Amino acid sequence: MKWRFVDKIIFFESWKRIKALKAVSLEEYYILKPLGREGILPETLLMESSLQLARWFLEKSSEFTLSFVDFEIENFTIIEEVLMGESITMEVEMESKNPKEMTFLSKASIRDKMVAFGDITIQITNISLLHNKERRALLWEGIYAPIE
């Protein structure tokens, strides 16, 4: 089973905001089948997608020198379940930043209707010695397709 947490990044403003699309794979809808919830995207995958979008935001804003491992998600509210066949628009906006920590507001919507939101706080880590900047930049080019 394989899926992507972020399919296309459609808007990016360095150190301010990022917006992306996520098309939910069929496999993601069947994860909850053993629990009697077939056809519903697991809420944890929606949170993880928001978290991965925050990662892309930080990495691209820092020209692929910063990222994070430690994080905290607070007050993440699911307003409505995401059903089979839906396409999610996700947005992460930076609320505050200091040298060690950043806080984001995360929102997810379907056809302009909010389905989830919450706060993400991350601990900033220098990754310039751990990751190949050029490789991360190539991955970015593969998913960045601005439409706004």
Residues 102-120: tens digit of each pLDDT? 999 999 999 999 999 999 9
Closest to 69 measured CA to CA, from 131, 22, 111: 131
Q: What is the pLDDT of residue 102?
A: 96
What is the CATH number for 97?
Answer: 3.10.129.10
Domain assignment of residue 64, yes or no: yes
Positions of E strands within 1-148:
8-13, 17-23, 66-78, 87-97, 101-110, 113-126
Q: Which of 27-36, 50-59, 100-109, 118-127 has the lowest mean pLDDT?
A: 27-36
Confidence of residue 101 (pLDDT cuts 50, 70, 90): very high
Most confident of 19-23, 38-42, 63-67, 90-94: 90-94
Residues 38-54: tens digit of each pLDDT? 667 778 889 999 999 99
Domain assignment of residue 1, yes or no: no
The secondary structure element, H or E, covering residue 44 is helix 43-61
CA 148 to chain centre: 18
Percent of the chain with pLDDT over 90: 66
The partner residues of 21 in beta bridges, in order of sequence, read 8, 89
Write out the residue range of the structural domain in which residue 76 sits: 8-143
Domain assignment of residue 127, yes or no: yes
Q: Is the pLDDT of residue 1 over 50?
A: no
Domain assignment of residue 130, yes or no: yes
Tokens 């930080």, located at residue: 58
Domain assignment of residue 91, yes or no: yes
Number of domains within the chain: 1
Tokens of 100: 């060690």
Domain assignment of residue 2, yes or no: no
The CA-atom distances, in angstroms, between 6 and each of 63, 96, 101, 126, 148 are 19, 23, 23, 22, 17
